[in-house]
Amino acid sequence: MDLSLPNPSWSKDMRLLFDQFMKKSEDGSWKHLPSYKNKFSRRIEDIKVFFPDAKLIKEKISQAQLFPRNFEEGLGFEYAMFHNHAEDRTVCIFQGGPYLQGAPGFLHGGAIATMIDSTLGMTALIAGGIVMTANLNINFKRPIPLCSVVVINSQVDKVEGRKLFLSCNIRSVDEQTLYSEATSLFVKLDPEKSLT
Ligand SMILES: CCCCCCCCCCCCCC(=O)SCCNC(=O)CCNC(=O)[C@H](O)C(C)(C)COP(=O)(O)OP(=O)(O)OC[C@H]1O[C@@H](n2cnc3c(N)ncnc32)[C@H](O)[C@@H]1OP(=O)(O)O
C-alpha cells in the first residue's frame, strides 16, 4: 500500500500541499513518488551484488521495513515526495508526529536527519541509481515544532563520476522560516567493489 497518500492524520496544510503538487503533476512536470513499507525488498537483488555476505540479508530481510515507514499512522513520519525531472529536484512535504519528539514540543534532530537523508537519497537514487550516503552535513537553524508541516527542497548540485553532491533545505509552508539546510555526498555503488 502506498503510504505517501493522504490519511486521516494529515493536517489541512499537508493535504493542501499534497493537492497542490498533484495538480502540478497533471502536466507531467512533477511526478508523485509512491512509498511503501517494504516493497523496497524487491530491490534486494540489485543490492545483493554489493553485499556478498547474503546470509545477513537473507536471514533478516523478510522483516525489513523502510525505517520512516514503520510508525503507526500519524505518530511518526507522515510524508510524500514529488520529483521534477527537468529541474532534477525533489520536494518532500513532511509532518512529524508526536513519537518523533526531541526537545519538548520539537522534532528530534535524528528525525530531521532521517527525512533529509531520505529526500536527498531519493533525489540521488533517481539521478544516479543504487547509491549510498557517504557524507551528510546538517545545519539546524530553527527547531521544528512537533506535528507541524514542513517542505524539504532537495537538488543535485554536481556529479563527478560516481560522486553525487546534493543539497536541501527545510522551510515552513509559508516559506518564511528556514528550519534546516544540508549538504551531502552520495556515492553510486560499484559492482566491482564489495562493501563489506
Ligand atoms: C538503495 C536502494 C533504495 C531504494 C529506495 C529507498 C528510499 C529512499 C532512499 C534512502 C537512501 C538512504 C541512503 C542511506 O542512508 S545509506 C546508509 C548510510 N550510508 C552507508 O552506510 C554507506 C557506508 N559507506 C560505504 O558503503 C562506502 O564508503 C561508500 C559506498 C559510500 C563508498 O565506498 P566505495 O568503495 O564505493 O567508494 P570509494 O570509497 O572509493 O569513494 C568513491 C569516491 O567518493 C569519495 N568519498 C567516499 N566517502 C567520502 C566521504 N565520506 N567524504 C568525502 N568523500 C568521500 C572518495 O574519496 C572517492 O573519491 P575519488 O577518490 O574517486 O575522487
- Cα(78) to ligand 1 centroid in Å equals 27
Atom of ligand 1 nearest to the CA of 131: 1
- In angstroms, the CA 79 to CA 93 distance is 5
Q: Whose CA is nearest to atom 58 of ligand 1?
A: 163
- In angstroms, the CA 146 to CA 131 distance is 30
| pLDDT above 70: residue 94 | yes
If you search the block for the grid coordinates 549538504, which residue do you land on? Answer: 183
- Cα(131) to ligand 1 centroid in Å equals 7
Q: Which three cell numbers stand for residue 149?
A: 508541516
For residue 135, what pLDDT band results from cuts at 50, 70 and 90? very high
pTM value is: 0.93
- In angstroms, the CA 112 to CA 115 distance is 5
For residue 20, what pLDDT band results from cuts at 50, 70 and 90? very high
Which residue spans within the chain are E strands per DSSP?
A: 30-33, 77-84, 89-96, 131-140, 149-160, 163-172, 178-188
Q: How many CB atoms lie within 10 A of CB 67?
A: 12
Q: Check 2, 27, 46, 117 and give the catalytic one.
A: 117
- Cα(17) to ligand 1 centroid in Å equals 32
Question: Domain limits of the chain?
Answer: 12-188
Residue 46 annotated among the catalytic residues of the structure: no
- In angstroms, the CA 81 to CA 84 distance is 10
Atom of ligand 1 nearest to the CA of 135: 51
Domain 12-188 maps to which CATH number in 3.10.129.10, 3.40.30.10, 3.40.47.10, 3.40.190.10?
Answer: 3.10.129.10
- Cα(187) to ligand 1 centroid in Å equals 4
Residue pLDDT, tens place only, 170-184: 999 999 999 999 999
Contact 118, 112 (CB under 8 A): no
Specify the amino acid at residue 100. Answer: L
Q: Whose CA is nearest to atom 26 of ligand 1?
A: 195
Reported ipTM: 0.92
| Residue range 79-97: mean pLDDT, rounded | 96
